[in-house]
Amino acid sequence: MKATVLVDNKACQGCAGEWGLSVYIEYEDKVILLDAGGSPLFFVNAGKLGKDISKVDYAVLSHAHYDHSLGMETFFENNSRADFFIQEGTEANCYKKVWLIHKYIGLPRNILSDYRDRIRYVSGDYKLMDGVYIIPHKTADGRAAGKRENMFLRKHGRWEHDDFSHEQSLVFETEKGLVIFSSCSHAGAAAIIEEIAQTFPGRKVHGIIGGFHLYNKTEAEVRSLAARIRETGIEFICTGHCTGDKAYDILKKELGDSLCQLHVNKVMEF
């Protein structure tokens, strides 16, 4: 398996960065795109890095926020065959409360209707292909994370704290063990590692890649997460995007060489 980062906050080697994430993953004889960033930048960077978006066989949306989905229309315009896999019940209804205002932070407003023939809704544990799985959250009370982050869903004319039922992990079987891609880990990176371990009993979880949503957390919270991650025994951790530089530095001190920095044009092979 070879994963190339097309979009992350950190630019690298002539490729711009943005607040968002997109990863081009080559697995066996198939290509999978995880997320489409916050603009057409993923497509621009793909061209610079020699990655052909028209050859993507499957596209997967980690969750329904703008910084992972605003490039979806660009994807559909440049790929005529791959479906985009999202969690059942996902809607364009995600908001973040800033003071007294609910600010929209969700999908492109009409993407689900304009490209309904290219959207695939999945529920439960879903086998995308041999060795590749889409796994939803199984942690109880996801709304606690929504309350903590001041994030909401607009449902039936009412505001509800986001339960992150639209968030999912992409999991690969590799020679080293299972590798998890969890783009923002709103439910908590350690909880997601534990979810995957419970989903695949007896299987080794080798690595996790993605943002950990720590940019707004205290040092104590970051150190607590590091301790939980260490207890899982996971060997490879690559994080960026919404983790934040301060939190990354703390994690590095706690997790040492098992941790590395996500950035545009980072290539990971397993």
* pLDDT attached to residue 13: 84
Average pLDDT over residues 173-181: 98
Answer yes or no: is pLDDT of 142 > 90.
no
Contact 225, 190 (CB under 8 A): yes
Q: How many whole angstroms from its chain centre is CA 77?
A: 22
Give the tens place of pLDDT for each residue, 6-26. Answer: 999 999 989 999 999 999 999
Give the tens place of pLDDT for each residue, 96-116. Answer: 999 999 999 999 999 999 999
- Residues 148, 161: Cα–Cα separation, whole Å: 9
What is the SS3 assignment for 151-200?
A: EEEEECCEEEECCCCCCEEEEEEECCEEEEECCCCCCCHHHHHHHHHHHC
pLDDT band at 138 (very low <50, low <70, confident <90, very high): confident
Give the tens place of pLDDT for each residue, 21-79. Answer: 999 999 999 999 999 999 999 999 999 999 999 999 999 999 999 999 999 999 999 99
Contact 223, 254 (CB under 8 A): yes
* pLDDT attached to residue 140: 64
Q: What percent of the chain has pLDDT over 90?
A: 96
- pTM for the model stands at 0.97
Buried b (16+ CB within 10 A) or exposed e, 109-118: eebbeebeeb
Give the tens place of pLDDT for each residue, 207-246. Answer: 999 999 999 999 999 999 999 999 999 999 999 999 999 9
**String of DSSP letters for 52-108:** -GGG-SEEE-SSS-HHHHTTHHHHHHH-SS-EEEEETT--S-EEEEETTEEEE-SS-
Average pLDDT over residues 154-176: 96
Q: What is the mean pLDDT of the chain?
A: 97
* pLDDT attached to residue 261: 98
Burial of 257 (C-beta count, 10 Å sphere; 0-12/13-18/19+): exposed
- Residues 189, 138: Cα–Cα separation, whole Å: 13
Strand partners, 2: 26, 269
Average pLDDT over residues 174-201: 96
Indicate the pairing of strand 83-87 with strand 236-240: unpaired
